[in-house]
Structure 1
Amino acid sequence: MADEVPAGFEPMEMAPFMTFVGPLYRGPGIGRFGMRVLPEHANTHGKAHGGFLATVVDVAVSRGTRMSLADGSTVSTISMTLDYLEPADIGAWLEIAATVDRVGGRTVFTSARVTVGDLWVAKASAILARHRPRS
């Protein structure tokens, strides 16, 4: 069924902005997320809108990075590059795998891939500013 969530994915508490985008789910392991492409996410061609994909990737790399750091740090996006590889249809289950590639003192370099099954929909790289908790 098109609205089913695959086994192993759980709803996440999200920032208020994400109520406009839709529910993002956390998958098993660190940095794995999923989301269903809904009609409101579509462009005029009936495919996932590029802005929607960029939003989901931005949230996934940020959340995945915070989970990976596990030290109470928050992050904010400095820059992100997103390559669109294939369109995603309405009803498709997107999986986003976010990876921390390198951690510096004040920056974190990340990458992500967006897939529908075995199909690569997009790939991204992002640089995040790291904000450590004050002691």
Structure 2
Amino acid sequence: MTGANGVPEGFVPLPTSAFVEHLGGLYHAPEAPEHTFGMRVGPEHANVRGRAHGGFLATAVDVATSRGARAAMGDGSGVSTVTMTMDYLAPVDVGEWIQLVTTVDRVGGRTVFATCRVTAGDRLVARGSVVLARIRPRA
């Protein structure tokens, strides 16, 4: 079910950077079993064909994997993207809600490996594989 602001029930705004707020904000589903995030695709995210731009989807995956990794580590470590590979599997129309589910595959001393599945409705539309540098808090 969708709330009055067009955001599905169970999702709450996630405080994030000014850049992500400029993109339309990121939402988090705190009760979901995995690190689940979401965004609404707006006209400002569209390519010339009127569908979600690949760069927008890559940005959403980058932010979701970073936030998911930080939450999974839970020790105050930060992360910085080292590499990211994207697979674009299906188009996403303006107005659709994308859901991003991040799985942290491995946390090492210096790197974190994560994957992200992007869905729109019941369709898998993209997936990303991300390697992040782990930035430990100073003692």
TM-score, normalising length from structure 1?
0.96
Match of 2:116 among 100, 107, 112: 112
Match of 1:24 among 22, 26, 45: 26
- Asked if structure 2 preserves the Cα contact closer than 8 Å seen for 1:64 and 1:98, the reply is yes
Deviates more, 1:2-11 or 1:90-99: 2-11
Could you give the per-residue CA deviations for residues 75-106 of structure 1, whole angstroms, max 9, x where no partner exists? 00000000000000001010000110011110
Match of 2:100 among 83, 87, 96: 96
Aligned to 2:15: 13
**Aligned-pair RMSD on alpha carbons?**
1.4
Amino acid at match of 1:76: S
- Asked if structure 2 preserves the Cα contact closer than 8 Å seen for 1:3 and 1:36, the reply is no
- Asked if structure 2 preserves the Cα contact closer than 8 Å seen for 1:33 and 1:95, the reply is yes
Q: Which runs of 4+ in 1 moved over 3 A?
A: none
- Asked if structure 2 preserves the Cα contact closer than 8 Å seen for 1:3 and 1:91, the reply is no
Instruction: Give the drift of 1:19.
Output: 2.6
Aligned to 1:82: 86
Q: Distance in 2 between matches of 1:100 and 1:18?
A: 21
Aligned to 1:49: 53
Amino acid at match of 2:101: A
Instruction: Give the drift of 1:18.
Output: 1.2
Could you give the per-residue CA deviations for residues 41-95 of structure 1, whole angstroms, max 9, x where no partner exists? 0001110000000001100000010011000000000000000000000010100
Instruction: Give the drift of 1:3.
Output: 5.2
Q: Distance in 1 between matches of 2:9 and 2:21?
A: 23
Number of aligned residue pairs: 135
Identity, in percent, stands at 57
Aligned to 1:67: 71
Deviates more, 1:28-37 or 1:53-62: 28-37
- Asked if structure 2 preserves the Cα contact closer than 8 Å seen for 1:66 and 1:72, the reply is yes
Amino acid at match of 1:10: V
TM-score, normalising length from structure 2?
0.93
